[in-house]
Structure 1
Amino acid sequence: MRIDIITVLPELLESPLNHSIVKRAQDNGLVEIVVHNLRDYSQDKKHHRVDDYAFGGGAGMVMQVEPIFRAITALKEERDYAEIIYTSPDGEKFAQPLANRLSMGGDLLILCGHYKGIDQRVRDHLITKEISIGDYVLTGGELAAAVMTDAIVRLIPGAIGDEQSALSDSFQDNLLAPPVYTRPADFNGWKVPEILLSGHERKIHEWQFQQSMERTKRLRPDLLND
Structure 2
Amino acid sequence: MDRLRYSVGLVAKHLDVQIAQLVTPEFSNGLPDCLIGNPQREVNMGVKGLQLCGNSIMPYLLFYGQSIADKYATHAEQYNQNINSLGQTSANLARHSVSVMKQHLATALLICVQGVDLRSKLIQNTYDPRNLLSEQTRQIYQAIRDLIQVPIRQDKPYIWNDNEQSLDEHIAITAQNLTNEGSSLFKAIQPTFRQLIDDRHSH
* Structure with higher strand content: 1
| Pairwise same-fold verdict (TM > 0.5) | no
Larger Rg, first or second structure (1 or 2)? 1
What TM-score, normalized by structure 1, do the two folds share?
0.21
What TM-score, normalized by structure 2, do the two folds share?
0.23
